Amino acid sequence: MDMESGNTIYWAPFQNGSWTMHIAATEKGLCYVNSPFGPFSMMADWLQKHYPGCTLVRDDDRMQRYSDELTQYLQGASKHFELPLDLHGTPFQRSVWTALLDIPHGATCSYSDIAESIGKGNAVRAVGAAIGANPALMVVPCHRVIGKNGALTGYRGGMEVKAELLRLEGIQL
């Protein structure tokens, strides 16, 4: 995960079935995947907060490689992403996001599992907050984190989307 970027953020809408999302990338990699049905303003506000002074430029051609990988994943043709990431967050958030990337396709873990994996076993709530701040839904698979009791828990994209992503990966709810 490269954490630096330039001043231009490229974006494009992304459609898969009934899901409409917005995706964004710097020169270095994908930096944002909006929740399905999330308005453009949600992405624009997030980008201005985390990339102050950035210029948003719609570039469907530049974003096609990211759209293609998301499509392959959502259609079940791919189980992991190869695209580069450029995610901005605190060192703690980045450590949580890196741990999320280690959860295999078709598997789940709990918030406490993630906390333990980063050496912060007592920071379960902070881990939850970092997971909630994940800017790249699906690509950084926060949907694979469930409650310790096996229950579905919050998801920025909505619980129906989380359940659908888990079903896509063959996880029985």
With CA atoms as reference, report the closest residue to 19 among 83, 82, 74.
Answer: 74
Please write the tens of the pLDDT for every residue from 85-144.
999 999 999 999 999 999 999 999 999 999 999 999 999 999 999 999 999 999 999 999
Domains defined for the chain, CATH in brackets: 8-74 (3.30.160.70), 91-168 (1.10.10.10)
Q: pTM of the entire structure?
A: 0.91
With CA atoms as reference, report the closest residue to 157 among 130, 134, 173.
Answer: 134
Burial class (CB in 10 A: 0-12, 13-18, 19+), 59: middle
Please write the tens of the pLDDT for every residue from 38-92.
888 889 898 889 999 899 999 999 999 999 999 999 999 999 999 999 999 999 9
Does 4 have pLDDT greater than 80?
no
Q: What is the maximum span of the chain, computed from C-alpha positions, in angstroms?
A: 45
Nearest 10 degrees: CA dihedral of 115, 86, 84, 97?
10
Q: Is 136 in contact with 121 (CB distance < 8 Å)?
A: no
Backbone angles phi, psi at 54, to 5 degrees: -70, 155
Does 3 have pLDDT greater than 70?
no
pLDDT (mean) for 4-27: 88
Percentage of the chain with pLDDT > 70? 97
The β-bridge partners of 109 are 145
Does 5 have pLDDT greater than 60?
no
Q: Give long-range contacts, CB 8 A cutoff, 24+ apart: 153-160.
A: 153/111, 156/35, 156/132, 157/35, 157/36, 157/38, 158/35, 158/36, 158/37
d(CA 21, CA 97) in angstroms, rounded, equals 20
Q: Which residues are catalytic?
A: 142
Percentage of the chain with pLDDT > 90? 76
d(CA 147, CA 121) in angstroms, rounded, equals 15
